[in-house]
Amino acid sequence: MRTQVGIIGGGPAGLLLSHLLHLEGIESVVLESRSRAYGEGRVRAGLLEQNTVDLLTEAGVGERLVREGLPHDGVQFTFDGRYHRIDMREHTGRRVTIYGQQEVVKDLIAARLAAGGAIVFEAEAREIGGLDTERPYVRYVEGGVEKTLECDYIAGCDGFHGVARGAIPASVLQTFDRIFPFAWLGMLIAAEPPSEELIYSHHPEGFALFSMRAPKVTRAYLQVEPDDDVKNWPAERIWEALRKRLGQHEGLTVHEGELMQVGITPMRSFVTEPMKHGRMFLAGDAAHIVPPTGAKGMNLAIADISVLARAFVAHYKRRDSSQFETYGPECLRRIWRAEHFSWWMTTMLHPLMDASPFDKKRQIAELDTVMNSRAGRTFLAENYAGLPLAPWR
Ligand code: DHB
């Protein structure tokens, strides 16, 4: 098989790239190691920046998102018995929207297939080669048969555990890594959330986050030990921790319901440079990971794709390949700012169980400073709602 852009990975990044290229008449093939049902069913991130909503809408795949997504003008915090709300719209003029990653994936798959796009499911990329030639290729296995996809360029959108990053020689690959000493226990609850907006709660026993996927579906997270096990968290312990960590605030109640999709997410920060090697570009989790506090992961992946799509359009439509060289540096500036923001939100909101009495007081003071300063609230809101993103075309 031969195409212009070979895309490894059919998550939001790979699918969006394929869709944007198609809008500009550029051919691509997406190789996805899992089944369609897997990508459409797995509950993952769910908070879209205004940039992401605007891009998906402009690209013609935002119709259901605008209809079913839950727009939020504010975000709430509890700590030390106190409650604060930051009005994002007042501070930034922007808002965020709750819409599950798997819904974005469903909309993009539907759009690609309706346009006759090529997505090969259950196609496992094994080897990437020819990156220094005009004929790079991906060898993959589909239904037990080894096949080759030849292309002009390769986009590695295959996530943190994918093969693409490994095709960059160790002698040129730099990695920056940090692992946090806690994890998140995530769950879906068939009940309405405590508030229509997200609540980030700092509590001496651990952080908790109350989000949602629909008006009567809560998505909640609890800070747990890094090596914790779902088996250690029977329903009664979950309810007690959620109630305790939210604290007692007027009008905020944890509603119980069926517990679904309980799982543990590790917390790490990770960046690799460069994002281009020969004729391959990395995008999304293949190149960088943020801890989830602040929900930057999927938004960053989509921002990478908007820069990469613009570079491909300049190359194929105007024979201008200069943006291939600026792709990585342009993305990395935003990535590092999101790395800082995600690290800051994480360290500010998660108590360390072995923190000194001084550090416990200092952490509360930091939250107090941010929430009670217009500059502090604006800084948080600007980053949370998303830094400005240049148009992809
Ligand atoms: C969600 C996850 C996050 O990490 C976050 O900061 C906000 C929302 C969510 O899954 O809804």
Interval 42-94: pLDDT, tens: 888 899 999 999 999 999 999 999 999 999 999 999 999 999 999 999 999 99
Question: pTM score, two decimals?
Answer: 0.97
pLDDT reported for residue 319: 97
Two structure tokens written together for 39? 């990508």
pLDDT in tens, 248-279: 999 999 999 999 999 999 999 999 999 999 99
pLDDT at 45: 87
Domains, the chain, ordered by start: 2-70+98-177+268-351 (3.50.50.60)
Sheet holding 288-289, edge to edge: 82-87, 74-79, 199-201, 208-214, 217-224, 174-189, 259-273, 288-289
Q: How much distance in Å is there from the Cα of 393 to the middle of ligand 1?
A: 29
**Would you please indicate which residues are annotated as catalytic (active-site) residues?**
72, 200, 292, 296, 384
**Average confidence score pLDDT of the chain:** 97
pLDDT score recorded for residue 43: 87
Q: How far is the CA of 44 from the centre of ligand 1 (A)?
A: 9
Ligand 1 pocket mutation, candidates 189, 198, 207, criterion most atoms within 8 A of CB: 198
What's the pLDDT at 373? 98
Does the Cβ of 45 fall within 6 Å of ligand 1? yes
What's the gap in Å between 79 CA and the centre of ligand 1?
A: 18
Kindly give the parts of the chain with pLDDT less than 50: none
